[in-house]
Amino acid sequence: MAGFGSKIRDFFKKSSLSSSFYEDLEDRLIEADLGPKLAVELSELLSKAKAKDIETFKNVLSDKISPLIIGDQLTLSREKPNVLMFLGVNGVGKTTSIAKVAHYFHQQGHRNIVAAAGDTFRAAASEQLSIHGERLGFRVIKSHTGADSAAVVHDALTSAIAHKDDLLLIDTAGRMHNRSELLHELRKMDKIIRQRVSDSDYKRILVIDVNTGQNCLRQAEVFHEAVQLSGIIATKYDGTAKGGVLVALARELRIPIYFLGTGEAPSDLHVFDAKQFTQELVTLDF
């Protein structure tokens, strides 16, 4: 799949004289993952300005998305433990992101880190987390497959408080038998954490794969409804899609982006820079 930049560039190269220019542009923007609402708004703005050149498009795009995209640096408070719960559908990179975030804070001097294998749905998930823990030097609290994930979270919190850990990272399942079961499970975990950790020390982080396009939006809405998301980690930014979906997400949910994941290694994590991201998107430079 071609990225956002090349799709839009091609469009302006080939279609500048067509009579259905603005409708075609709208379709292209939707394909480029900006989402239907933003695509309609952008093509309407260009249509009003009677603009058909790529420079005007870039200016309109920049004006439109700059206020939408929010970057935020994830920092830990002095309280112990800070709790980060990772949410997202299967395969987006939750477990890998936990390893990356553990590595990131470890490098900042936070040596006491524990993770909870809250994905009790899939046997390999807690195994994978344990392997990361051994390599990177964090403890992992886990239970058997099919165990109550809220109980795992409860045990991990008790352990983190007893050990005076700086950070508790919670892995969760992305799939359940059905949506209401997933929501119920997540809310239960959320409630247990809120009973013992203050709001300022607890973040709910949505992990999304930027290559999954508009599917992300629906997923994000479900998780946001369940636990009120605090921020986003966008993974697989090293792939072909260059984040058009992040603009759509930012527009819909208005939550900050913490990090971009750019590979499988623990160090492949970059603090999100909103200015740089917007610049790359509007220069269509990829």
For ligand GTP, the closer of residues 57 and 86 by Cβ is: 86
Q: Which residue has the tokens 């800070």?
A: 82
Question: What are the beta bridge partners of residue 86?
Answer: 205
Task: Check: CB of residue 102 under 8 Å from CB of residue 136.
Answer: yes
Report the nearest approach of ligand GTP to the CB of residue 239 (Å): 6
Give the interface with ligand GTP as residue ranges (CB under 6 A).
88, 90-96, 119, 122, 125, 174, 235-236, 238, 261-264, 268
Question: Which one, 97 or 112, has the nearer CB to ligand GTP?
Answer: 97
Q: Which is nearer to ligand GTP, 25 or 87 (CB)?
A: 87
CB of 86 to ligand GTP, least distance (A): 8
- What whole-number distance in Å separates Cα of residue 27 and Cα of residue 30? 5
Shortest Å, Cβ 275 to ligand GTP: 21
Strand partners, 231: 205
Task: Please state the closest distance from residue 50 (CB atom) to ligand GTP, in A.
Answer: 41
Core vs surface per residue 25-62: b (16+ CB within 10 A) or e: bbebbbbbbbbeebbebbbebbeeeeebebeebbebbe
Residue 113 or 125 having the CB closest to ligand GTP: 125
Nearer to ligand GTP, 38 or 117 (CB): 117
Q: In whole angstroms, how close is the CB of 173 to ligand GTP at the nearest point?
A: 7
Q: In whole angstroms, what is the distance from residue 87 CA to residue 93 CA? A: 10
